[in-house]
Amino acid sequence: MKILQRLSRPFVVFVERFYPDPFVFVIILTFLSFGLVFAFTDTSALEAVEFWGNGLGDLLGFMGALSITLITAHALAHTDAVGKMLKALARIPKTEVQAYVMVVLISGVSNLLAWSLGLVVGAIIAREVAIQGDKKNLNIHYPLLVASAYAGFVIWHMGYSGSSALFMATESEAAKFGEAVIPVTETIFTSWNMILAGITLLAIAVVCPLLRPSKEETIRIKADTLERARFSEETFSENHPKTLGDYLDNNRWLIIALGALVAGYVAIWFWEEGFKLSLNIVNWTFLAAGMLLARSPKHYLELVGNASKLVGPILLQFPFYAGLMGLFKGSGLAAMVSGGFAQVATANTLSFWAFLSAGIVNMFVPSGGGQWAVQGPIFLDAAEKLGTDKSLIVMGISYGDQWTNMIQPFWTIPLLAIAGLDMRKIMGYTFVVLVITFFTLGGGLLVLGSGG
């Protein structure tokens, strides 16, 4: 345990002293990206600004879908039924080690269902476990507990909402690459992907408790402080109906009927299309579940309103990352990075190099869909020439995208808004998770590529 504590210490100190706010992070990345483009390509300043500016709006449509994903997942996680379940689970841990393990496992499983649900549920379960831990007088380090919740995000792209796999499972999207559809049964829902996700999650569950600091350095948050934060989220203005309008606003059967209608459409989709996923179907699944569990139309609207507060910072920053994608793509720098890795690869190692390449690009383009649009064609073409299984390429890029989220602060925004913590308090620990998951994810791809 002391070895891992010493390993994490430099990362914790580095992040606390030097890591900027996520918005400042993207500003710095923007000017760094311009410098890289000027250094490694023959792009002029005028062309670079045009590539960047033209890219600012490229992901506006995706931003809408992303917002719905986050809002519906947040609303679902704050329904009464889900809230009661998470509070019950939070009472299970009897020791500090069990507390960290519980948070990792629940966050990881939730992220496999959807990244948005994982970030929200991870934050809630971390907070609830901390409340119960304080009442039991457990010495729980709250920043590490929240870091454990974010660590579960490192397997999101292996699950139900994995962008790259969903794009290639959609005929219109696959056609853009001149490729045949690759169904999710050959990517997300393969035994090898699920086994790797399980191994990775178990490795994190073992490592996170070993990173806990000494009793003197532990930061405990009082239960009443966290309960006040929870109460502000759960406040719901439900009054006794006085008029027909009030009655309709607070009528549960109306929201259940609408939720059932959406759920019926999702059921028909799967009946007619088979187990074929798309980003829209993921969104409608969580929309239906949230409405079915809400108390009334008014209640669901308030849940959505609370969720909307988390979306603003993400929507502000996303166009700038889209601009970086436009700059990297237009200048050819993205192709240079991906192509360089593809050139040194063999048929057995191509998916591993796709993983490393995606990890680098994800620091500048933290969008699974946007990243796939930039890197997918290059590695699919290389797979065609080398005879590599294209399903491995899809998942290799997916693994790389999720991997460096552990040191990319953009996606901490919704989780930390709920947990009530600063990003600098957790990311030193997730640096260690980055190191550990390099071996589970990258090593797994090498084994699979060699036919193991």
129-188 pLDDT, tens digit each: 999 999 999 999 999 999 999 999 999 999 987 878 888 877 777 777 777 888 888 999
Measured distance CA(47)–CA(53) in Å, rounded: 10
pLDDT class for 375, splitting at 50, 70, 90?
confident
End-to-end Cα spacing for the chain: 32
pLDDT reported for residue 126: 95
CA distance 402 to 339: 20
Which residues have a Cβ under 8 Å from the Cβ of 46 and sit 6 or more positions away? Answer: none
Mean per-residue pLDDT for 59-67?
78
List helix spans (H) across 274-344.
279-293, 297-331, 333-344
Please report how many Cα atoms fall inside a 13 Å half-sphere around the Cα of residue 446, on the Cβ side. 8
Q: How many CA atoms lie within 13 A of 104 on its CB side?
A: 27
Q: Is the pTM of this model over 0.75?
A: yes
Question: In this structure, are residues 391 and 168 in contact, taking their beta carbons and an 8 Å threshold?
Answer: no
pLDDT of residue 270: 84
C-beta neighbour count of 214 within 10 angstroms: 10
277 touches 166 (CB < 8 A) = yes
Can you tell me the distance from the alpha carbon of 360 to that of 358, in angstroms, rounded to the nearest whole number? 5
240/247 Cα distance (integer angstroms):
8
Tokens 């710095």 found at: 28
CA distances from residue 52 to 49, 57, 384 in whole angstroms, order as listed = 5, 10, 31
- Predicted confidence at residue 116, as pLDDT, reads 85
Whether the CB-CB separation of 375 and 391 falls below 8 Å is answered with: no
Spell out the alpha helix ranges (H) of 56-154: 60-77, 80-90, 96-113, 115-135, 142-151
CB contact at 8 A, 65 and 280? yes
Q: What does the block give as tokens for 367?
A: 């969008």
pLDDT of amino acid 233: 58
**Mean pLDDT in residue range 107-127:** 92
In this prediction, residue 403 has a pLDDT band, given cuts at 50, 70 and 90, of: very high
Structure tokens, 216: 């003197």
Query: pLDDT at residue 386 above 80?
Result: yes
Span 309-358, pLDDT tens digits: 778 888 888 889 889 888 988 898 888 888 888 888 888 999 999 999 99
What's the mean per-residue pLDDT of the chain? Answer: 87
Looking at per-residue pLDDT, the higher value among 239 and 86 belongs to 86
Q: How far is CA 386 from the centre of its chain?
A: 31
Given a contact cutoff of 8 angstroms between Cβ atoms, the answer to whether 440 and 200 are in contact is yes
Long-range contact list for 371-376, CB < 8 A, 24+ apart? 371/164, 371/325, 371/397, 371/401, 372/163, 372/164, 372/167, 372/397, 372/401, 373/325, 374/325, 374/328, 374/329, 374/334, 374/338, 375/334, 375/338, 376/164, 376/167, 376/168, 376/177
Burial of residue 402 (CB within 10 Å: 0-12, 13-18, 19+) is buried
State the pLDDT at residue 237: 58
Of 431, 374, 373, give the one whose Cα is nearest residue 403: 431
Instruction: Give just the sign of the alpha carbon dihedral 80, 82, 85, 90.
Output: negative
pLDDT of residue 115: 87
Mean pLDDT of 407-426: 88
> Coil, strand, or helix at residue 346?
coil
* pLDDT value at residue 4: 67
Q: How far apart are CA 52 and CA 47, in angstroms?
A: 9
Q: Which of 336, 344, 256 is nearest to 299 (CA)?
A: 256
What is the structure's pLDDT at 405?
A: 93
Which residues constitute the domain of residue 84? 2-449
pLDDT at 240: 66
- pLDDT over 60 at 272, yes or no: yes
Question: Is the CB of residue 208 less than 8 Å from the CB of residue 104?
Answer: yes
**Who contacts 444 (Cβ-Cβ below 8 Å, separation ≥6)?**
192, 196, 199
| SS3 state at 29 | helix
> Are residues 16 and 424 in contact, defined by beta-carbon separation less than 8 angstroms?
yes
pLDDT at position 401? 92
Distance of alpha carbon 352 from alpha carbon 345, whole angstroms: 8
Largest CA distance in the chain: 72
Is the confidence at residue 110, as pLDDT, over 90?
A: yes
Q: How far apart are CA 231 and CA 301, in angstroms?
A: 17
Q: Nearest Cα to 160, choosing from 271, 266, 79, 319?
A: 266
Least confident of 152-156, 163-167, 236-240, 382-386: 236-240
Classified as helix, coil or strand, 438 is helix
Checking if the pLDDT of 238 tops 90, the result is: no
Hey, what amino acid is at 178? Answer: G
Number of domains in the chain: 1
Q: What pLDDT was estimated at residue 183?
A: 86
Split at pLDDT 50, 70, 90, the class of 235 is low
CA dihedral 51, 56, 60, 62 (to 10 degrees): 70
